[in-house]
Structure 1
Amino acid sequence: MNPQDFLGWNAVYLAIALFIILCIFLGVRIVPQSEKHVVERFGRLTKVLGPGINFVVPFLDRIAHKVSVLERQLPNASQDAITADNVLVKVETSVFYRVTEPEKTVYRIRDIDAAIATTVAGIVRSEIGKLELDQVQSNRSSLIERVREQVAAMVDDWGVEVTRAEILDVNLDDATRSAMLQQLNAERARRAQVTEAEGRKRAVELAADAALYQAEQEAKAKRVTAEAEAFATSVIAAAIKENGIDAVQYQVALKQVEALEAVATGAGKQTILVPAAALEAFGDAFKMFRPK
C-alpha cells in the first residue's frame, strides 16, 4: 500500500470517527433539573425530555422548546368587580403557577401568563358578584379557595398547575368608604345604647332581687319569732295547766320588772312611780319561790 492510499484511508477513518463523535454529541442531551425539553422530528412532537441524561436521534430530532418548570408568579393584577349589593370594588390579585406538561403549554396556548391572568380576572368578578360586600370582607379565605379551585380546573388543559391564588386587597371608592364609615359609627352608637340599656335593666333586676331577698329574710325572721312566741305560749299554757294561776301571776310580774328596768336605764333622770298593784304582783310572784 503506497503512502497516498494510507493517508486516504486514515482520512476516511478520521471522518468516520468525527462523525461518530458528532452523533454522540447530538444524540445525548443533558437536561437541567429546573427544565423540560420538548423534542420535535420533522416539525412534529416526538417526546418530552426530563431532567438528567436523555438520548435523541441525531440530525432528525431537535430541541424545539426549553420550558422552565420552576414556580412562577404573575404580576399583581387589579380589576373592578361589583358585589351582590351593587358596590363597586377594586380587587388586587396575585397568582403562582408552574408548568407540569410543557407539551400542552407550548402547543395549546400562545401566551400562558396573559391567559391565566384573564382567567383569574373573570373568575374573581364572578365569585365576588355572588357575595355582598360584608361577606367579601369576612369570608376572604373561602373566596380565595373557590377562586383557586376554579382557576386550577380552567387551566388544566394548558399543562400548568396553579399553586397559589391570593386576593391581596379589596379597595373601595371614596364615596362608598365614607358611607361605610358613617354606617360603622352608627352601628357603634347603637351598640353603646344597647349596652347601656342592658346595664340599666340588669341594675333594676338586681335591685328587685335584693328587695325580694330582703322581704324573704324579714318574713323568715317573723316566722321564726312567731314560732318562738308560739312555743313560749305553749310552755306557759302547760305551766298554767300544771300550776294554775300562780304561773300566770309570775309571768305578769316578770314582764313588769322588765318594763321597769327599761324605764330605769333610759337617758336623763326619771322619777318612777310604782303602783300598789304592781308591788302586790311582785309580792305574789315572790311567794311562788317560798317553800310550801
Structure 2
Amino acid sequence: MTEDQILGLITQNIVLVLGAIFIVVIILKGIKIVPQSEKYVVERFGRLHSVLGPGINFIVPFLDVARHKISILERQLPNATQDAITKDNVLVQIDTSVFYRILEPEKTVYRIRDVDGAIATTVAGIVRAEIGKMDLDEVQSNRAQLIGQIQHSVETAVDDWGIEVTRAEILDVNLDQATRDAMLQQLNAERARRAQVTEAEGQKRSVELQADAELYAAEQTAKARRIQAEAEAYATEVVAKAIAENGIEAAQYQVALKQVESLNALGNGSGKQTIVLPANAIEAFGDAFKMLKGGK
C-alpha cells in the first residue's frame, strides 16, 4: 500500500469519526431531558418557541435553545414587615409571609424581571390597602378573613405573570408603645367595669333571694293562719251543731271543759305558788267536774 493510499485511508477514517461525533452531538442537542421540578423555555432565533415539560423532549439542534430553566417548586418569599394605618388611625406593623409557584414560565420570563421583588411590593401595597379598610379590633379578631382578602387580591395582581399564590400568612400584628399603653389602660378599665357589674349583679341577686325568702315565709305564715282559721271555724261549727242538737247542756259542757283546762294551766306554772279562788269559783269547778263525768 502506497503512502498516498495510507493517507487517504486515514483521512477517510477521520471523516467517519468526525461524522459520527457530529451525529452524536446533533442527537444530544436534539434531546432534552427535563427534571420533574422544572420547565424549560425554548427560543428559536431569539423568540419564544415552546415550553418543555418534565420528561424527554425533542428540539431542533442549533435552531432551538433552552434559554431559561425555571423551577416550578413552591417558593417562599422572605418574611416582610410593613407599616399600615387602620381605619381608626392606628399605626400597626404587619409581618407577612407569601408562598407561590410558577405555572406559566413563559409569562414569568418575558413579563417580569425580579419575581420575588415584584410580589413583595404587590403584597405590601395590598396589605396597606386592606388594613386601611378595617378598624384595629377587626384586624385583631378577623385575621383569617383579612388573610383571605389579601391572598385573593395578590392572586388577581400577579395573574399576568404566570404565578399562583398558594398561601399568604399574617405572622404578627405589632403596635407602637403608645398604642399598647392606651390599650392596656382600656383593658384594665374594662376589667374594673366588669368586676363592678358582677358585684352589682351579685347584690341584686342577694336582694332578690332575700325578697323571695320573705315572700315564702309570708306565704307560709298566711297558709298556717288560714289552716288555723279553718280549724277554728270547723270547731265552732261542731260546737254550734252540738248546741243545736243537744241544747244548753252541750254549751255548758264546753264551758266546763275550758274551766278545767284553765285550772290545769294554773297548776302547771313554774315555781311554787298559792292559788286563791273564790268559793263560787270552786262551786263552778265542781259543777264542771260533774258535767265532765256526766259527759263521759
Asked whether 1:253 is paired with 2:253, we answer no
Look up the equivalent residue of 2:268 and give its one-letter code. Answer: T
Corresponding residue of 2:184: 181
Secondary structure of the 1:93 match is: strand
Paired with 1:132 and 1:222, the residues of 2 have a C-alpha distance of 66
Q: How does 1:54-133 map to 2 (within 5 A)?
A: 54-133=57-136
Percent identity between matched residues is 68
Q: Aligned letter for 1:264?
A: G
Change (3 A) 1:212 1:13: same
TM-score (norm 2): 0.91
Describe the SS at the equivalent of 2:165.
Answer: strand
Q: Is the 8 A contact 2:105 2:162 kept in 1?
A: yes
**TM-fit CA distance, 1:250:** 2.0
- 2:209 aligns with 206
Superposed displacement of residue 17, structure 1: 2.4
1:151 is the counterpart of 2:158: no
Tell me which of 41, 50, 55 is aligned to 1:47. 50
CA distance in 2 between partners of 1:194 and 1:287 (Å): 75
Q: CA deviation at 1:54?
A: 1.3
Q: Deviations over 1:35-69 (max 9, x none)?
A: 11111111111111111111111111111111111
Shift of 1:265: 2.5
Greater mean deviation of Cα atoms: 74-83 or 237-246: 237-246
Question: Aligned equivalents of 1:36 and 1:258: distance in 2?
Answer: 120
Query: Residue 103 of structure 2 contacts residue 164 of structure 2 at CA under 8 Å; is this kept in 1?
Result: yes
1:218: how far off? 0.9
Who is 1:283 aligned against? Answer: 290
Q: Tell me the CA shift for residue 216 of structure 1.
A: 0.8
CA RMSD of aligned residues (A): 1.8
Letter in 1 for 2:230: E
Q: Is the 8 A contact 1:28 1:54 kept in 2?
A: yes
SS of 1:287 mapped into structure 2: helix
Native 8 Å contact 1:246 1:288 kept in 2: no
Residue of 221, 224, 227 corresponding to 2:227: 224
Q: State the shift of 1:255 in Å.
A: 2.4
**Count of residues in correspondence between the two structures:** 289
| Structure 2 CA distance for aligned equivalents of residues 10 and 200 of structure 1 | 113
- Contact 1:246 1:285 (C-alpha < 8 Å) held by counterparts: no
The DSSP-based 3-state class of the residue aligned with 1:62 is: strand
Please, which runs of 5 or more residues in structure 1 have no aligned partner?
A: none
| Residue segments in structure 2 that go unaligned for 5+ positions in a row | none
Q: Equivalent residue for 2:29? A: 26
